[in-house]
Structure 1
């Protein structure tokens, strides 16, 4: 399993997630996006509809359709009823994730840095960890 820590210093999660989601869909993957903040899930949903002028990224909120059919599922819990192998934690609140996922994208604002550090330390040595930060308009991998 791999965990990518994305410190959001410039752009909010709803701006970053459509890019991540598109890459996963391009490789025929599925994504679960988790947040306890319903307003944030609404903003992410809107961003997935409007990220590209020529298309949208198909998705639904958990419980509002056929979850199992959704390539991108938005939820307040980390259960992948759409059989996603990728999960994005969008609200900055680390939560235990089952090993059913191949990759976790943990997006957090600077106010959640202590939470991110604790999450980093809590992961076993078997987990590959990467830290990303925004440098201008680009993402760079940190130490």
Structure 2
């Protein structure tokens, strides 16, 4: 199980998350996007309709249609009713339920860095968990720092 920590410093989540979702889908996977904030879920829903510019990412918010048919599902809880094996924790809050997936993407900004550090340390001793820490360089490119 792999956990990727993404420290958002330059590019905002709404620019990075569609790229991640597109890559997951290109690999034949499904993604569950989790946020406890209803406003953030609505904003991400709108963003996924606009990016990528040459198309759209098929998705829905949980409970607004046939969840099981959605390659990308936006939800308030870690319940992969779309059969996702990848989860994106979009609100900066780590949830241990993410460990049941094949891969977790944990996005956080400066306001949540302390919580992210706590989660990073807690996962260090978990058997079968591979952690990666990604940060943006001065040009906005993502670099693996750990």
Return the TM-score normalized by structure 2.
Answer: 0.94
Partner SS for 2:100: coil
Instruction: Flag as ranges the 4+ runs of structure 1 deviating above 2 A.
Output: none
1:139 aligns with 2:142: yes
Distance in 1 separating the partners of 2:111 and 2:90? 14
The alignment status of 1:129 with 2:127, answered yes or no, reads no
Which residues of 2 match residues 1-143 of structure 1 at below 5 A? 1-123=1-123, 124-135=126-137, 136-143=139-146
CA deviation map 1:3-59 (0-9, x unaligned)? 000000112211111000000110110000000111111111111111122210000
Cα deviation for residue 137 of structure 1 reads 1.9
State the 1:100 CA deviation.
3.1
Q: For residue 112 of structure 1, give the secondary structure of its aligned residue in structure 2.
A: helix
Deviation at 1:98, TM superposition (A): 4.8
Structure 1 length-normalised TM: 0.96
Unaligned stretches of 5+ residues in structure 1: none
Give the Cα separation in 1 of the matches to 2:127 and 2:99.
Answer: 14
Q: 1:120, 1:99 → 2: CA distance?
A: 13
